[in-house]
Structure 1
Amino acid sequence: MDKIKFTFEETGENVVFCVLGNTQVNEVAYILVVDENEIEDEDMTAYILKATEADDMDIIYEIVDNDEELSVVVPILEKFLDDFEIEL
């Protein structure tokens, strides 16, 4: 399972996320992630991240919180995740 390091802008907190799935919508990359410390939890908190920038070394992601955008991306990601149900 792929992992990424994410830094929350508001707090500066660093978290390592496990990537559960990914998709692309209108040439924008999205990933579904969960904190690596919660990966075994039944009711884990997952986030959908959107790639906003990329350079040779890093991809910059931001958390998707727009309901309209989520309503498009969530059904696509759910198709790839047999054992997961995404609740908004």
Structure 2
Amino acid sequence: MEKIKFQSPDGTVEEFYIEEQTMIGGVSYLLVSDSMDEEATAYILKDVSTGTEPEACYEMVEDDEELQAVYKVFEQMLDDVDLEM
């Protein structure tokens, strides 16, 4: 399983496992988890980079409406997995 490094605004770096990815309305989203355990916590990241940046730049989705909409898409994609956010 592929890992991604995420640097939070306070400068700490965390590693997440990429569970799934999708594109909605031209925006790329990642479903990531903090471990490979069954009790892992899942997060949804949104690509906020511009076309001129050499690497993708992801932020945690914090808007409740956007989070619920993207969550439903991932839930349908992974219907055999019990997602809890």
**TM-score range, shorter-chain basis?**
0.7 to 0.9
**Secondary structure at the counterpart of residue 69 of structure 1:** helix
1:85 aligns with 2:62: no
Paired position in structure 1 for 2:3: 3
- Within 5 A, what are the aligned runs for 1:3-82? 3-9=3-9, 11-35=10-34, 38-40=35-37, 42-54=38-50, 55-56=53-54, 58-82=55-79
Structure 1, gaps ≥5 residues long: none
**Secondary structure at the counterpart of residue 68 of structure 2:** helix
Code of the residue aligned with 1:43 in structure 2: it is E
Give the CA deviation at 1:82: 4.0
Looking at secondary structure, tell me which structure has more strand per residue: 1
- TM-score norm. by structure 2 comes to 0.85
- TM-score norm. by structure 1 comes to 0.82
- 4+ aligned runs moved over 3 Å, structure 1: none
**1:24-71, Cα deviation, whole Å (9 max, x unpaired):** 111010000012xx212x221111000000522x11000001110012
Q: How many residues align?
A: 83
> In percent, how many aligned pairs have the same letter?
40
